[in-house]
């Protein structure tokens, strides 16, 4: 296959994947915009996705990749990664199929045909990589979002304590914190805003708080939700609960940093032994080995 054709195939595959990811992000943006303006069910004009009422191509796409047939684990992981729109699951399925097909086509085009077994092994490895790369990307996206939420929880707890001690109710304090943290910690701000909207829509606070953990998967939020529910049931001070838990989270964060610092020397052993020490041996023992070789060659 000519190099020009191969380059065009690669560029086309990359363009399709980038377009699909842009559609996922645009869908998430439209969902957030609808929630913020209170028009979640109304169509929002977009340069990437047309309104649902006037998009037969989008309806055919959703019919080709139905959301209801997707595993619950996939929907849960996409929600944990922040992609909770209606088109997240079908677009993710389409991306997985496109990546798998692109890797297989590249392997078929580039694999040498001298040995059949070697050709089969290369195609099989390409198929495995094409199937695992989207799953790895989703796992990384979930982990990064959970880390961002985990780092933002202590700051949110401090702001909640200030608002509650100033005389605001818990729901009003949560709304103010969500607005103040919108530009600094967007992920947690979005989740707190969603909890406030669900409570205003008639959902009980306990159900809304439990849904907060279900949407993020962060264990620290699960403990916080349990403490808040218990405080609400027993009638204890919410500010005291938030202050104590904020101190606990900061102590855990410091302990995690100390643990990483303690294991840094152990993690540096592998690159030290595999990369630095061979270079040192070459520099130190190289001249001596050359002299010994010249002495034996002269004899």
End-to-end Cα separation, the chain, in angstroms: 55
Instruction: Give pLDDT tens digits for 224-236.
Output: 888 888 887 887 7
Same domain, 160 and 84: no
What's the total number of domains in the chain? 2
Q: Which domain holds residue 193?
A: 147-262
Same domain, 175 and 258: yes
Q: Considering the domain boundaries, does residue 135 fall inside one?
A: no
Q: Considering the domain boundaries, does residue 283 fall inside one?
A: no
**Which CATH number fits the domain that encloses residue 158?**
1.20.81
* Residue 241, CA distances (Å) to 160, 174, 208 in order: 11, 15, 19
Please report how the helices 116-165 and 186-200 are oriented relative to each other, as an axis angle in degrees rounded to 10: 60
Report whether pLDDT(42) > 50: no
Same domain, 22 and 96: yes
Contacts of 194 (CB under 8 A, 6+ apart): 35, 212, 215
Instruction: Give pLDDT tens digits for 207-222.
Output: 888 888 888 888 888 8
Q: Considering the domain boundaries, does residue 86 fall inside one?
A: yes
* Residue 131 · residue 71 · CB < 8 Å: no
Instruction: Give pLDDT tens digits for 89-106.
Output: 888 888 888 888 888 888
Same domain, 251 and 195: yes
pTM of the model: 0.67
Q: Considering the domain boundaries, does residue 56 fall inside one?
A: yes
Question: What does the DSSP assignment read for 87-115?
Answer: THHHHHHHHHHHHHHHHHHHHHHHS-SS-
The pLDDT score that the predictor gives to residue 18 is 67
Looking at per-residue pLDDT, the higher value among 250 and 23 belongs to: 250
Same domain, 160 and 238: yes
Q: Considering the domain boundaries, does residue 288 fall inside one?
A: no
């Amino acid at each position: 296959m000519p190099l020009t054709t191969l380059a065009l195939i690669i560029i086309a595959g990359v363009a399709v994947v980038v377009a699909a990811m842009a559609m996922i992000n645009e869908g998430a943006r439209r969902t957030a915009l609808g929630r913020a303006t209170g028009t979640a069910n109304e169509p929002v004009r977009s340069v990437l996705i047309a309104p649902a009422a006037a998009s037969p191509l989008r309806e055919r796409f959703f019919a080709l990749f139905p959301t209801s047939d997707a595993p619950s684990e996939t929907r849960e992981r996409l929600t944990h990664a922040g992609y909770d729109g209606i088109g997240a699951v079908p677009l993710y399925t389409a991306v997985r199929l496109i990546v798998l097909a692109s890797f297989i086509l590249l392997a078929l085009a580039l694999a040498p045909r001298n040995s059949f077994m070697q050709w089969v092994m290369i195609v099989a490895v390409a198929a495995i990589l094409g199937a695992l790369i989207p799953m790895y990307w989703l796992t990384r996206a979930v982990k990064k979002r959970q880390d961002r939420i985990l780092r933002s929880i202590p700051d949110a707890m401090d702001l909640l304590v200030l608002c509650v001690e100033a005389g605001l109710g818990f729901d009003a304090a949560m709304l103010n914190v969500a607005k103040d943290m919108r530009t600094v910690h967007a992920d947690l701000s979005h989740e707190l805003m969603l909890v406030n909207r669900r409570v205003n829509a008639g959902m009980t606070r306990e159900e809304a708080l439990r849904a907060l953990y279900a949407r993020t998967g962060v264990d620290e939020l699960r403990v916080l939700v349990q403490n808040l529910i218990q405080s609400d049931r027993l009638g204890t001070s919410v500010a005291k609960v938030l202050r104590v838990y904020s101190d606990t989270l900061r102590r855990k964060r410091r302990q995690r940093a100390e643990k990483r610092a303690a294991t840094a020397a152990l993690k540096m052993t592998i690159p030290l032994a595999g990369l630095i020490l061979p270079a040192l041996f070459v520099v130190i023992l190289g001249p001596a080995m050359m002299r010994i070789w010249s002495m034996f060659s002269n004899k």
